[in-house]
Chain A
Amino acid sequence: GAGVSQSPSNKVTEKGKDVELRCDPISGHTALYWYRQSLGQGLEFLIYFQGNSAPDKSGLPSDRFSAERTGGSVSTLTIQRTQQEDSAVYLCASSPPGGRGTGELFFGEGSRLTVL
């Protein structure tokens, strides 16, 4: 597709369950970011992938959160043993080669996670 694609768009789960959120970046984009947007909060950085380099995981809030990027393209964000405070919109963004360090990110529409 033309833009960053995220799925599912909405996910409702029970506390303690694991969830997987998927991001399909724009073709040819080498950098991929995950952010979290909670009600009344800004966008919280979670993790950053750039090409084949080791990801920057400094924003992951706990060891229940992990992410991988296969083949330099699709990324999956996994949240284990979900808690109610994990409820948020999870945003994925990508940027093209040379986009790194320019701040010009292309965002998906997000995956809204609700933990009951």
Chain B
Amino acid sequence: GDSVTQMEGPVTLSEEAFLTINCTYTATGYPSLFWYVQYPGEGLQLLLKATKADDKGSNKGFEATYRKETTSFHLEKGSVQVSDSAVYFCAALYNTDKLIFGTGTRLQVFP
């Protein structure tokens, strides 16, 4: 079945380090792809999205590019901040109304 796989955490970085969180999806059709973020004590919120191949979603300094050839949607940020510490979820929307999520990756950024 359709699924989303993302790297296990926690990912631990120093402030201003470069971040990559890997995400791959099953290549059934052409899903829309998303990154959601869950800050401590808050509900999940949409971070960015891409709806077709080669699209780049971006928000708050984070970027992710829809790569059809590698079925990937890796999340990147050039310089992380302590306030970026959160759990990040990759998700895919196939030809249904169900958003399929990965297992989440916890990011911890230390000053």
Q: Does B97 contact A (CB under 8 A)?
A: yes
Kindly provide the distance from the CB of B37 to the nearest chain A CB, expressed in whole angstroms: 11
| A107 CA / B4 CA spacing, docked (Å) | 19
| Residues of chain B contacted by A31 (CB below 8 angstroms) | 97
B10-25 CB mask vs A (1 if < 8 Å, else 0) is 0000000000000000
Asked if B103 contacts A45 (CB within 8 A), the reply is: no
Q: Does B66 contact A (CB under 8 A)?
A: no
Asked if A48 contacts B98 (CB within 8 A), the reply is: yes
Asked if B93 contacts A107 (CB within 8 A), the reply is: no
Q: Return the contact of A107 from the options B32, B44, B103 (Cβ within 8 A).
A: B44
A71-109 CB mask vs B (1 if < 8 Å, else 0) is 000000000000000000001010000001111111111
Number of interface residues of A (CB under 8 A): 28
Which residues of B26-64 have CB atoms within 8 Å of chain A's CB atoms? 32, 34, 36, 41-46, 49
Q: Does B89 contact A (CB under 8 A)?
A: yes
| Residues of chain B contacted by A1 (CB below 8 angstroms) | none
Q: Return the contact of B100 from the options A4, A45, A100, A107 (Cβ within 8 A).
A: A45
A33-55 CB mask vs B (1 if < 8 Å, else 0) is 10100001111010010100000
Asked if A108 contacts B43 (CB within 8 A), the reply is: yes
> Interface residues of A: mostly helix, strand, loop or mixed?
loop
Asked if A102 contacts B32 (CB within 8 A), the reply is: yes
Asked if B44 contacts A91 (CB within 8 A), the reply is: yes
Q: Return the contact of A50 from the options B32, B49, B97, B104 (Cβ within 8 A).
A: B97
Q: Does A18 contact B (CB under 8 A)?
A: no
B contacts, CB < 8 Å to A: 4, 32, 34, 36, 41-46, 49, 89, 91, 93, 97-104
A contacts, CB < 8 Å to B: 3-4, 31, 33, 35, 40-43, 45, 48, 50, 56, 58-59, 91, 93, 100-110
